[in-house]
Structure 1
């Protein structure tokens, strides 16, 4: 193994860009993931950058299998609207408009 290898990178410990609860979406520049614990802004938090996660979504939005899922940081909800939002990953199953959540495979980076 190369001497400069640090880790796989599936979970990163970074300063929380804002207060976050365990299971909440964390976006820090191009790092996108799910907080593995509660943290105040600036406090280190473990962030999972891979995996499939169930996240709350905009009620009116429907997702198809493999459809892109964006994160609306203002509302704290997954959305199908790309404009002004951050690409989070893809839906791993359909989520009709009348459901409260969508299962998302994180895109990583």
Structure 2
């Protein structure tokens, strides 16, 4: 292994940009992921940056398989609306407007 290797990078420990509960979305600049535990703002939190996660969504939104999923940080819901929101990844299965959640593969970027 190279001498400058630091870590695998699928889980990062960062200061929480805001208070977060385990399973909550964390966005810190271009780092996007899912909190692996509760953390107060500024305290360390492990953030998983890869994988598929079931997230609550805007009730009126329907997602197609492979459709882009954005995060509305104010409402704390996944949405199809790109404007003013942060792209999290793609839907791994269709989610009708009548459902409460969407399964999202994090883009890991």
TM norm. shorter chain > 0.5: yes
Task: Give the Cα–Cα distance (whole angstroms) in 1 for the partners of residues 3 and 44 of structure 2.
Answer: 26
Runs of 4+ aligned structure 1 residues displaced above 2 Å come to none
TM-align CA RMSD: 0.3
Does 2:66 correspond to 1:73?
no
Q: Which residue of 2 aligns with 1:100?
A: 100
Give deviations 1:8-53, integer Å, cap 9, x for gaps: 1000000000000000000000000000000000000000000000
Q: Which residue of 1 aligns with 2:23?
A: 23
The correspondence of residues 4-19 of structure 1 with structure 2, limited to 5 A, is 4-19=4-19
How many residue pairs match? The answer is 109
How far off is 1:61 after superposition? 0.1
Give deviations 1:60-97, integer Å, cap 9, x for gaps: 00000000000000000000000000000000000000
How far off is 1:58 after superposition? 0.0
How far off is 1:54 after superposition? 0.1
SS in 1 for 2:59: coil
Q: Which residue of 2 aligns with 1:54?
A: 54
Q: Which runs of 5+ in 2 are unaligned?
A: none
Q: Which runs of 5+ in 1 are unaligned?
A: none
